Structure 1
Amino acid sequence: MLDELREAGTEVRVELADLADAGQLARALPEDLAGVFHLAGVLEDALVATLDDGLLHRALAGKAAGAWNLHTLTADLPVEHFVLFSSLAGLFGSPGQGAYAAANTFLDGLAEHRAALGLPAQSIDWGTWSGTGLAVAAGGVERLAARGLPPLSPEVALDLLEESLGSGRRHLVAAAFDWAAFGRAGLGPDLARMLEGQVSADRPAAGAERGAVKKAALAATGAAARLDVLRRFLLEQVGAVLGQTPESLDTSAPLQELGFDSLMAMELRTRLETGLDLRLSATVVYTFPTVEALADGLTQRITAERPAAPDPAAVHNMAAVLDTAAAQDLAGDEDAGDEPGVPGELAALDEHELAALLAEELDLKGGRHD
């Protein structure tokens, strides 16, 4: 691109400087600077629990501290543009990228701050670009595309940049969306409200509603059928995390060999907890390293938590006992006319209602019989 600019007659000068070092940056900036386009960024993927000062510094230095230094050093210059390349990670969040998301959110806030001072400012929350960018370097383009964020071609991205510059808006999103796939990826409540009207409310049965898959598995007849429900659900979720089709996955292959890392394991756990309405260990993917092993483990977990159905004979005998006891109470208490007719009410209950009554009385729902 630099060669193309030079061939078009543009004077191009390359300077090396640490943006987080205000002194170095000041020496690199020309006095006749007409505009700023800030593209710096560093990915430091880590769970919040494992973030330390070093990770935070590397993620924030170039993007956030660098942007602030550019702001302070150019505040008195007649720059026409001050464009900050932010990311959707700051707007939507991204698993394992808390530090990177914070750095991008800072850019959005800096644009608002500059605008309040009457200075030119624009922050653009970019989606992925094909062929270039941090997502390409990290190998995450296909996975993001499977979650509803396909990459922009550089040509389309530059057209969007030109349109953004002419819009006069200080905060924009420039990205491609596959709304159907985006909805299938599962949205948190805040993001669902943000995108109301864009993402269809018709969510898939594959775990979009909390506990939906657990209910389907429990409704299946027999252990083999329950295992099949969970296996198909797992293949869909593993495929969504990896950006692959369920049919292409080997259920007996270790997930790590399929390409799973710790961040993907956390994302899969979140998806499973939603679909199954279960609390799962952070190490569940390592305890059950294949789809087959995980499906078997989850089937056992769900089956063990399934409430035991009361024995029909016990229901019948207990109903008779309650009916007799209630009749004796009524016969021995002439002033009980205001009480409801318990024998009649019991007689009107069907077996399921009697079972529910017994479960409540004996605390069978919690599995305790004392």
Structure 2
Amino acid sequence: MTGGSGALGGHVARWVVGEGAGRVVLVSRGGSAPAGLVSELEGLGAEVVVVACDVSDRDAVAALVEEVEAAGDPVRAVFHAAGVGQMTGLVGMTAEEFTGVLRAKVAGAENLDAVFGDRSLDAFVLFSSISAVWGSGGQAAYAAANAHLDALAERRRARGLTATSIAWGPWAEGGMAQGTTEDLHRHGLVALAPVQAITTLHRALAEDETTLTVADVDWERFAPAFTARRPSPLLGELSDARKALTQDREEVDTGPGDAAIQLRERLSSATEPEQNRIVLELVRGEAARVLGHESSDAVKPRRGFVELGFDSLMAVEVRNRLASHTGLRLPTTLLFDFTSSAELAQHLRSELAQEMSAAAPVASAITELERMLSGLSTTDVDREDITERLQGLLTAWGGPQARITSSETLSPTTVEVDPALDAATSDEMFDLIQREFGKS
């Protein structure tokens, strides 16, 4: 077990001993093991060897395997969990840092593959990462290194050898994600309980998997944030992710609520410069809240959102808030399409002005209809015919307060009409209209 001094190595060592392994070799650069782990494994009946070895040195790996096997039975299973973490943006990464991240993961895996050659093993397990599957900010070298492990597993299989590369999500109780689990959880990645992870490892080996991804994902959080900059064909193939993205679009496409109606009322009575100021303050205020600032003064109008510290999840949170306040359907890419508060506010004001302008003729027509209906007497028209047509319009239009009776039995435009309204006579319908609109 390379990376034997790490938390993941300890969990795997306990499992293999529990499965009947009589001898475990824990390998690390420093040649140490967690306090109490050796005595715990020995208490379970295993012989434990703790050795220091740089797995990026092929001669050292070959010498280690020769020494281990000379002192006991041949090695039957290899677990490669050694690695170096990374949190450096690609632009700021040096060649030395990139090489250092790759050395333990890639060189170590290649050396183990070469030293054991075409020997038949019970297991050859590589601990990869989800960063190799869908990327991870600040972990370009780490993602590349783990992708190499996945490719190595495929290459060994092509040679007729056993190999399993597991792209792990974050583990709880240790691992390289230690100290970042809260932030990962905020982004929708739940830390795997060791028992859960080991159970999955056991199943993967029992089913002879080659490559697989194991992660506990809250798709409602993860998918919108992950696609905030661009669509993802990868997530598009996952039903849970598609469902989360569809639900996200529906939640921000609910039409104007009370806050949006109030905003429109403020804008309708304001001059264009005042409208610009109102919308700009709205954007700056919501951006400041998501960033955790007490005042919108911290969000300068011309300063870029990325420069202010926004990540994809924060961008989605601001989008959701602005969608609620404006009643507009806004994409998850909003803060990346319009990269500063001033630019975004200008876009939102333009969209609101266009929508309000489009709605003005309808509102005017409704006002005129109210005037005409209030001036009609019972003998002027067929009230029953007009009532039926009004009810038909109401049913077709629906609206924010309309209640769908059943999404399975009714068409998308079918709404449930108040029983009292449905049973109203023509005279009662006209009386209702006159009362509601203040006509006499």
Larger mean Cα displacement after TM superposition, 87-96 or 261-270: 261-270
Aligned to 1:317: none
Matching residue's letter, 2:55:
L
CA distance, structure 1, for counterparts of residue 40 and residue 281 of structure 2: 57
Cα distance per residue 1:253-278 (max 9 Å; x no partner): 979xxxxx989656579768921453
The Cα RMSD (Å) is: 3.7
Distance 1:267 1:49, change over 3 A: farther
Aligned to 1:288: none
CA distance, structure 2, for counterparts of residue 38 and residue 144 of structure 1: 24
Distance 1:265 1:97, change over 3 A: farther
TM-score (normalizing by structure 2): 0.54
Whether the 8 Å contact between 1:96 and 1:263 is mirrored in structure 2 is: no
Aligned counterpart for 1:125 among listed residues 164, 167, 173: 167
Aligned to 1:14: 50
Whether the 8 Å contact between 1:108 and 1:123 is mirrored in structure 2 is: yes
Query: Which runs of no fewer than 5 residues in structure 1 stay unpaired?
Result: 210-215, 239-248, 256-260, 285-294, 313-370
Aligned counterpart for 1:189 among listed residues 202, 227, 232: 232
CA distance, structure 1, for counterparts of residue 166 and residue 98 of structure 2: 22
Whether the 8 Å contact between 2:338 and 2:344 is mirrored in structure 1 is: no
Structure having the higher Rg? 2
Whether the 8 Å contact between 1:20 and 1:61 is mirrored in structure 2 is: yes
Aligned counterpart for 2:246 among listed residues 169, 191, 202: 202
Q: Establish whether residue 24 from structure 1 lines up as the match of residue 66 from structure 2.
A: no
CA distance, structure 2, for counterparts of residue 24 and residue 2 of structure 1: 23
Whether the 8 Å contact between 2:187 and 2:313 is mirrored in structure 1 is: no
Matching residue's letter, 2:44:
A
Aligned to 1:175: 215
Q: Establish whether residue 34 from structure 1 lines up as the match of residue 76 from structure 2.
A: yes
Aligned to 1:65: 107
Aligned to 1:344: none
TM-score (normalizing by structure 1): 0.63
Aligned to 2:200: 160
Aligned to 1:85: 127
Distance 1:19 1:206, change over 3 A: farther
Query: Does the residue aligned with 1:12 lie in a helix, a strand or coil?
Result: strand
Aligned counterpart for 1:3 among listed residues 30, 39, 64: 39
Distance 1:73 1:148, change over 3 A: same
CA distance, structure 2, for counterparts of residue 251 and residue 51 of structure 1: 34
Matching residue's letter, 2:105:
K
Distance 1:59 1:263, change over 3 A: farther
Query: Does the residue aligned with 2:185 lie in a helix, a strand or coil?
Result: helix
CA distance, structure 2, for counterparts of residue 226 and residue 122 of structure 1: 54
Matching residue's letter, 1:144:
L
Q: Establish whether residue 226 from structure 1 lines up as the match of residue 269 from structure 2.
A: no
Aligned to 1:348: none
Count of residues in correspondence between the two structures: 273
Cα distance per residue 1:86-128 (max 9 Å; x no partner): 0101001111211110001000000000000011100001111
Distance 1:203 1:186, change over 3 A: farther
Whether the 8 Å contact between 2:235 and 2:241 is mirrored in structure 1 is: no
CA distance, structure 2, for counterparts of residue 12 and residue 103 of structure 1: 29
Q: CA deviation at 1:208?
A: 8.7
Distance 1:2 1:162, change over 3 A: farther
Query: Does the residue aligned with 2:166 lie in a helix, a strand or coil?
Result: strand
Whether the 8 Å contact between 1:93 and 1:101 is mirrored in structure 2 is: yes
CA distance, structure 2, for counterparts of residue 208 and residue 164 of structure 1: 39
Aligned to 1:327: none
CA distance, structure 1, for counterparts of residue 173 and residue 181 of structure 2: 9
Q: Establish whether residue 113 from structure 1 lines up as the match of residue 155 from structure 2.
A: yes
CA distance, structure 2, for counterparts of residue 23 and residue 143 of structure 1: 40
Q: CA deviation at 1:37?
A: 0.5
